[in-house]
Structures are given as C-alpha cells and as structure tokens.
Structure 1
Amino acid sequence: MSRLVMAAALGSVIGFERERLSWAAGLRTHMLVCVGSALIMIVSAYGFEEVLKSDHVVLDPSRIAAQVVSGIGFLGAGSILLRGEIVRGLTTAASLWSVAAIGLAVGGGLYTASIAATAIILIILAGIKPLERRFISVKQRRQLTMLVDRGSLSFHALHEALGPGSVRVKQFVVQQSDDSPELDEVRVELSRASSTEYQAICDRLRHLEVVREFREDDAS
C-alpha cells in the first residue's frame, strides 16, 4: 500500500508540471502511469511466490515488468501531435516513459533512486526550459521587414503564401510606412527556423507581387 501511495505522490509531481502547461497527459495521467507501473512491479516481484515454490517450475517474473517499458509507448504516442511540420508532445511522451520507470523503481523498493529520478526529471522539465528559451531559442529567431502595398498583406495572406512554413511565424506586425502613405511596413519574426527553412521563407516572401522592398534583420 505504501509503495502505491508513494508512486502516486511522485507521479503527481511530474504530472503537475505538465498539467500547468495544459498538456493532454497531465496530473491524473502521470499519477495513473506511475501507480500502475508500481503495481505491475509488485506483482512481478511477489505475485508468483507460491508458484515458484513448486518443483519443476521455471518462471522469470521480471518479464512482466519489462513489458511496461514497451507497453507505455501507446500512451506516449497518443500525446504526440503533428501540426503542420511541427511535432509537439515529445517531451510529454518522454515524461510518461520516465514516470513509468519511477513507478517500477518504487514497486521494486528502490526509494532513493525513485525520489532522485523524480527530482532530476522535474529539474529537466521546469528548470531547463527557461535556459533553453534564453540561450537556444533566441539564437534561432530571425526577423524580416517588408514594404508592401497598403492593405495588401494580412496574416491570412501570409499564411497562404508560406504554407507549412507559416508555423514558424512568431510575430506579425503591420504599420503604415513612415516614408510613404501608400505602403505598409510589415515585420515578421520567425522562431526555430533552420537555415533551409529560413531561406525558403525568404524566397517566397521576396517574390510576392505586393512586396516593394525586402530586408533581413537581426532579431537579436
């Protein structure tokens, strides 16, 4: 009983971090995975004691727990979403897999390892993300400025022009040009665009009929 409660508590710590970001696999899902994994481990370790005492019986109880590692994959796959060319949910899928491992550790009586793993996973999920945004994502931001015919380029028109590349648009700002009242100044900020994607987006925008001037800026 105590192992199942501990598994629920450790799973809730990881699940709460996912829940606050409004992911489909949140608090309850992580708790259930952790408790279920712990129960399977307990069954694997102690559920076959009577059978193993019989003569001429060879049984490997650890095989049941081993199936958790591969079986948890269907939950992880369900948390992964494909939006355009962007794959989202991989981190949540990995957290579900990790929580399953925590549950197995708790079920096996490895309390120190399970608590340490929970702390490390929480640091990775909640602590590393701000650093990633500050030092990695910022370097992947690029900004473009265009002068276009007045009222000719809306966000919908930009989306149609870029196609799948529109998912890279982080900011879209339109204002009247200071140099000419007949032109709009459009600023587009791109996020996490590879060099190939960036060049493809620039080529598409540069060749739009409504674009009179195109400039690549340094977003940093």
Structure 2
Amino acid sequence: MLANWEMIARLLCAAVLGGAIGFERERLLWAAGLRTHMLVCVGSCLIIIVSAYGFQDVLGQKNVVLDPSRIAAQVVSGVGFLGAGTILFRGEAVKGLTTAASLWAVAGVGLASGSGLYLAALVGTIIILAVLAGVKPIEERYRRRIQTRTITLLARRGEFSIEMLRQASGPYARRIQQFVLKQTGTEDLDEAEISFVRLSEAALQEIAAKLKAMPGVTQVEGPDVS
C-alpha cells in the first residue's frame, strides 16, 4: 500500500506542476486558467492513485486481475471532452486549441505524478511551459512573415496595369499573390485589389509609396499602409 506521505507528495506535486502550466494560460486571460489546470492535474493524479492502489484489498481473491493502465487510458480520452469546451469558433477562426491541448497535456503530468514518476512530470511541465510561452513569439514572427498583406488602389480608368504594379514592386514582384482590377461606381475610376504574401511591413510601405507616385493613381490604402 502507498504510504500516506507519498500519496500527499504526489497530489501536491500534481497541484504545483498543473498550477505552473495553468498560470501561463491565466496570464493570457483564457477561460481554462490556473484553477482548471490544477484541478485536471490533481484529478488525474488522484484517479491513477486510486486505480493503482485503491483495490488492493480484493487482489487476493480468485480471478481478480488489476490493470491500472485502463484508468489512465480513460483519463486521456475523457479529458478531451473538457478540452472541447475551451475551443471557440469565430467565423473562420478557431480559438482555444492550444488551451485544449495544454489541458490534455496537464492530465499526462497528473498521471505521471500519481504514478510516482516525478522526473517525468517535472520535465514534462518544463517542456509544456517552454512550448506555451517560449515558442509563441517564434510562431507569431513566422506568421507575420507568411501572412497576406493587401493594398487597395484607385486609379483613373485605364491608366493602371499589372506591368505598373510589377515595376513598383521591383524585387518583391514575385511576392504578388493576387491582382484584381475592377470598375468602381464612379465612371472614371478603377479599383485594384493587390495581395502580397511573405512580405514585410517595411517592404509594403515602400511599394505603397511608389504606387502613390505613379501617374493616374489617386489613392493607395490598406491595413498596413500609412
């Protein structure tokens, strides 16, 4: 039978490690924050302790076999239901996947703590925190590099073409993803929607300045154009 001090140590370890991960989510004001992660971690720890040591009084009976791994498997699959509650759909955007994944991972930390695998629980927590806090700036920097930037341009009818756009884009012409030229409600103006991919904000500003200086162009605007 597991000693009382060891049982308490495992539960406290789960609470501390789960809280460390939950604090990172709480810092970003997600619904599943400090308390949720602590509860999932401690709950997983308690479940695996009960699974491994809670039925020892019946193990001596005939035809009774204990398989603690079955309970652990149920925790791993069952916590997915809780994680699904943190996922939000806003139009075409999906929010909360990372928090759902952290809940799933923190359940693993709780199972490791409850099994007495303190090193695995500690290292797992460090890696999870590194992924949540350390990798995010790298991920955001990469997304900014590959995101699509759009310019809307107004020009006098028939005085703007794709060749002029390529001339203004210079070495960035290969970053042009889409060029759509259409008539506006005003008879003497055309509207061009231009999309670039993998283009920095500084390069976009440079292209926008060249477009503004071109003859026939009356207006250049966009979310990243000043």
Shared fold, TM over 0.5: yes
CA contact under 8 A between 2:21 and 2:37: conserved in structure 1? Answer: yes
In the alignment, residue 67 of structure 1 is paired with which amino acid?
Q
Which of 93, 109, 125 is residue 116 of structure 2 equivalent to?
109
1:84 maps to which residue? Answer: 91
Following superposition, the deviation at residue 217 of structure 1 comes to 5.9
1:16 maps to which residue? Answer: 23
The answer to which of 16-25 and 208-217 deviates more is 208-217
Cα distance per residue 1:72-96 (max 9 Å; x no partner): 0111100001100111111111100
Following superposition, the deviation at residue 142 of structure 1 comes to 1.2
2:57 maps to which residue? Answer: 50
CA contact under 8 A between 1:48 and 1:61: conserved in structure 2? Answer: no
Following superposition, the deviation at residue 215 of structure 1 comes to 4.7
| Residues 1-220 of structure 1 mapped to structure 2, 5 A cutoff | 1-147=8-154, 209=185, 212-216=190-194, 218=196, 219-220=199-200
- Cα RMSD after superposing both structures: 2.4
Q: CA–CA distance in 1 between the matches of 2:80 and 2:183?
A: 45
Cα distance per residue 1:129-181 (max 9 Å; x no partner): 10111123322131223339xxxxxxxxxxxxxxxxxxxxxxxxxxxxxxxxx
Q: CA–CA distance in 2 between the matches of 1:58 and 1:132?
A: 47
Cα distance per residue 1:83-129 (max 9 Å; x no partner): 00111111111100000000000000000001000000111111011
Q: CA–CA distance in 1 between the matches of 2:131 and 2:54?
A: 35
Q: Unpaired runs of 5+ in structure 2?
A: 1-7, 156-176, 201-226
Taking structure 2 as the reference length, what is the TM-score of the superposition?
A: 0.68
Query: CA distance change for structure 1 residues 134 and 54 in 2, over 3 Å: closer, same or farther?
Result: same
Q: CA–CA distance in 1 between the matches of 2:59 and 2:46?
A: 19
Following superposition, the deviation at residue 45 of structure 1 comes to 1.0
Q: Unpaired runs of 5+ in structure 1?
A: 149-197
How many residues align? The count is: 169
Query: CA distance change for structure 1 residues 142 and 7 in 2, over 3 Å: closer, same or farther?
Result: same
Q: CA–CA distance in 1 between the matches of 2:183 and 2:68?
A: 65
Q: CA–CA distance in 2 between the matches of 1:133 and 1:72?
A: 28
Query: CA distance change for structure 1 residues 145 and 103 in 2, over 3 Å: closer, same or farther?
Result: same
In the alignment, residue 37 of structure 2 is paired with which amino acid?
H
In the alignment, residue 41 of structure 1 is paired with which amino acid?
I
Q: CA–CA distance in 2 between the matches of 1:64 and 1:108?
A: 12
CA contact under 8 A between 1:35 and 1:103: conserved in structure 2? Answer: yes
CA contact under 8 A between 2:184 and 2:191: conserved in structure 1? Answer: no
Taking structure 1 as the reference length, what is the TM-score of the superposition?
A: 0.70
Partner SS, residue 138 of structure 2 = helix
In the alignment, residue 137 of structure 1 is paired with which amino acid?
R
Partner SS, residue 53 of structure 1 = coil
Q: CA–CA distance in 2 between the matches of 1:141 and 1:110?
A: 46
Q: CA–CA distance in 1 between the matches of 2:44 and 2:60?
A: 25
Partner SS, residue 10 of structure 1 = helix
